Amino acid sequence: MKSQKIGDKELFGIGIGTMPWSGSRLWGYGSKLGLAEAREAFDAAVAGGVHLFDSAEIYGFGKSERAIGQILRERETDGVVIATKYAPLPLRFSPRAFHRALDRSLKRLGLPSVDLYQIHFPGGRIDLATLMHAMADALDDGRIQAAGVSNYNESEMRRAAKILESRGHRLASNQVEYSLVHRTPEGNGVLGACTELGVTLLAYSPLGRGLLTGKYRSGNAPIDWRKRIFTEEKLALATPLLDAIATIANAHGVSSSQIALNWLARIPAVLPIPGAKNAAQAASNAEALSFELTDEEDQRLRQLSTAFMNEKSFGQRA
Ligand SMILES: NC(=O)c1ccc[n+]([C@@H]2O[C@H](COP(=O)([O-])OP(=O)(O)OC[C@H]3O[C@@H](n4cnc5c(N)ncnc54)[C@H](OP(=O)(O)O)[C@@H]3O)[C@@H](O)[C@H]2O)c1
The pLDDT, as a whole number, for residue 24 is 77
Calculate how far, in angstroms, residue 16's C-alpha sits from the geometric centre of ligand 1: 9
Give the separation between CA 11 and CA 271, rounded to whole angstroms: 9
Q: Which residues are catalytic?
A: 59
Position 317 confidence tier, pLDDT thresholds 50, 70, 90: very low
Name the residue of 16, 201, 205 whose CB sits within 8 Å of the most ligand 1 atoms, as the mutation to test its pocket.
Answer: 205
Is the pLDDT confidence value at 316 over 80?
no
Is 17 a pocket residue for ligand 1 (Cβ < 6 Å)? yes
Is 213 a pocket residue for ligand 1 (Cβ < 6 Å)? yes
Total Cβ atoms within 10 A of residue 28? 21
Angstrom distances, CA of residue 296 to CA of 248, 287, 293, 301, 303: 11, 22, 8, 9, 10
Is 272 a pocket residue for ligand 1 (Cβ < 6 Å)? no
Helix axes 95-109, 63-74, angle to 10 degrees: 40
Is 69 a pocket residue for ligand 1 (Cβ < 6 Å)? no
Superfamily name with CATH number, domain 3-210+264-291: NADP-dependent oxidoreductase domain (3.20.20.100)
Is the pLDDT confidence value at 87 over 60?
yes
Q: Which atom of ligand 1 is nearest to the CA of 216?
A: 41
Note the pLDDT tens digit of each residue in 205-261. Answer: 999 999 999 999 999 999 888 999 999 999 999 999 999 999 999 999 999 999 999
Note the pLDDT tens digit of each residue in 38-70. Answer: 999 999 999 999 999 999 999 999 999 999 999
> Whose C-alpha lies nearest to ligand 1, atom 4?
204
The stretch 184-195 carries a mean pLDDT of: 98
Give the separation between CA 101 and CA 86, rounded to whole angstroms: 7
Is the pLDDT confidence value at 318 over 80?
no
Q: Which atom of ligand 1 is nearest to the CA of 202?
A: 10
Give the separation between CA 147 and CA 119, rounded to whole angstroms: 8
Give the separation between CA 241 and CA 281, rounded to whole angstroms: 21
The pLDDT, as a whole number, for residue 312 is 60
How do strand 3-6 and strand 9-12 relate by DSSP bridges? antiparallel
The structural domains of the chain, with segments of one domain joined by +, span 3-210+264-291
Note the pLDDT tens digit of each residue in 270-298. Answer: 999 999 999 999 999 999 999 999 999 99
Give the separation between CA 62 and CA 56, rounded to whole angstroms: 7
pTM of the model: 0.96
Q: Which residues pair with 160 in a beta bridge?
A: none
Calculate how far, in angstroms, residue 164's C-alpha sits from the geometric centre of ligand 1: 30
